[in-house]
Structure 1
Amino acid sequence: MSRSLSAVREPSLREKTDTQSPKGEGYSQTDPYLSPSEAGGLMTDETGKFSRTTMDGSVYSVSPSRLLELHHENLRLKQRLEEVRRTAAANEKIWRQFLEIERILFRTREFSGLARHLLQEIKERFGIDWTVLFLSHPDLGERFFPDLAEGGEEVSKGTWIASMAPQEAMKRFNGSPRPVFLPPAEIDVLTGVLARRGQDPARSGLLLPLTVHDLFFGCLFLGSSDPDHYRPKDGTELLEQLGIKIALCMDNCLAYERVKDLSDRDRVTGLLNFFQIHTVLERELRRARRMGKPLSVLAVNLDFVDEGSGHVDLVGPVLRHVSGLLMETLPEGDGFIGRTGSAEFVVILPYAALEEARRVAEKLSELIRKSPFRHDNAVILIRVRIGAASLRDHMSCAQDVLDAAQTDLCGLKAGQI
């Protein structure tokens, strides 16, 4: 004869403390009681075991102790399932944050503003205390952050942009594309170069390499004041993808700048045009101020003397001829040359003092005078005047240096009248 579990005296789990078991065989002094809901509606037979008849007529029996084991195992599985659910929800949230950051990355081609926005977004979206972008590729610094000081630029509290020598940066990763977890002592050394103002130290962090297509652009430091926020056992797959996408964005921005350089060329000579040569001069002036190096400018003016029959259509070929002579004398990397007028050129000489600039001017003048342009029976003699000027303390902008070179040029013209 079977009876319902509603006859069980206790409605909750507990250990039996008396020496007599009201349930018959299968119970001991440590056997628990099960409530009807905990036993799942099973019935007890005369032996004290729980049993249930299946649809095919067979009887399934289980002892109370085994039933309790199954109950506890079920609770553990439910707890583990809840942990998996919470982890999945957290991962989905993190993934959505990465998607938002990816949208920011490919929103613009102007990397200086993008980098500042990106660092703040990463810090806020992931709830960390430090985000530092270390730039190692020389073109990134020169094009987008020419005024970057030695102590870095503090974008906002907890976010910086700084420079790091390529050899030093790559050494930290030993050729691996994976992030490197840093202990607190190494974090202090890494962030010690920054101009920190009241920022709490990071107690855990990692360094993310920014590399793509075998190009190394720098690294991104993510840090937290929580010692357990970044742990070596944590997965880094999403962070690795983030590093690749940031590096790809940097590569795209540099490629865009190079294409823009080509579009900013003078269509007749192929030299930098009026606007681009001024942009370059502004950049070189800032760098000269920052590094304490000299900077000089040459203002070149040409006069054509046609000994043939006056070929107006030869103006373009003559300008290209002179441009070739200028580029031959100043190969790429030694200076910048631009056309600023019909027969006027500007030559920028980084790291050159005024004395050296005058020597270059004399060399260019002699070369141009000795190299007339020839076309069929026409010979066009070229007279050249070159004014020179160097950056001085009282000069506040690029136009001041150009004006000084033009003043020197006007003095040469006046002396030849």
Structure 2
Amino acid sequence: MDEKKAKKLFKKYLNQTCSKEEKELLERFLESYQGEDVQMSNFRFDNEVKQEVWQKISEKTEIPKSKKTNFNRFLLKYAALFLGLIGLAVAFNYFSSNTTEKPTLVIEDKAIVLKTGDNQTKKIIVGGGESITDADGNVLASQSNDQMVYHGKSTTELVYNEIIIPKGKTFELKLSDGTLVHLNADTSLKYPVSFVEGKDRKVFLKGEAYFEVAKDPKHKFTVVAKDMDVKVLGTHFNVSSYAKEETYAVLVEGSVAISERNLEDTTGEVSILEPGQKASLSKGDISISDVDVNDYLNWRQGDLVFNNEPFRDIIKKIERRYGVEIENSYTELESVRFRGAFQNETIEDLLDTFKESAEFDYEITNNQILIKKPTKE
């Protein structure tokens, strides 16, 4: 697209004469691309066009006086991003007629698996009404749609179940003490069928989960997540411990104690989190930072959010969200960072948005996605 066509399209957007499809793709593109690490555009817009953009944005924004200074900084940053990206914003060939039939991506529908304490394996169908019973036929748990509820009973022996959530699915689990656990895709949780009176509550997580812990001052609740322990009495928090990825906990409300898990040393440093903070564990060191907790919780609604994340990490999230396998041969993209939020888009819609912003090609072969460097025309 040359400079003349780019300016024409830009003005068309500002004058609200874009088609619905053009506007949606442009807005998704602007939200999906974090262009600070690469040159964004070769187009130059004159001062008249830039002034028009600023005027359009300002007219549609009402800012409380008390927040005007900080908001202006945000507005300036957004306007700069908007101007910088517009030269690359829309590729009309996305909407152009194309009679070539694209390969269809067939995603395998894998079941949720429950491993019981007596070495049985059961498949859990989302939307079903499965009941979990013990050897004597007593009902331990019952399912309703996408949630399994355990019914607490008095016991003196810990018996563990393990639930395994495949890629492409999420599930909810209510433990026998009333604790609600939202399980993300590609996650497993090992937990007691019933907690024992007088003993602390402990569960073992691989993957990501959001915990709403039932308050019980007499029985501390601990999430063992790879090399990190998260200890609470009653609170809401998110824990992520995927293999070969950063282990972290984000606190929404209440208070949690974070410590490195070291079986040989029980006197390690303990860090206390406050709401709105994130604790990360890397090479034995715990670091704490302030975060927007919503960036770490939207997966519960099925949203896919990227907050200035490198493409290599984004690929992992896409694989988990859609249950697909992605191979990236365009290694130059690995460290490029993106922002974006996707809700009900298909995997093809998401890839097409990234294709325009990151300028890569992709193909579907044997039900796998291959990302590759674009062919020079």
What TM-score do the two structures reach when normalised by structure 2? 0.22
Relative contact order higher in (CA < 8 Å, ≥ 6 apart)? 2
Q: Report which of the two has the higher share of helix.
A: 1
Larger % of strand: which?
2
> What TM-score, normalized to structure 1?
0.20
Please identify the structure whose Cα radius of gyration is greater.
Answer: 1
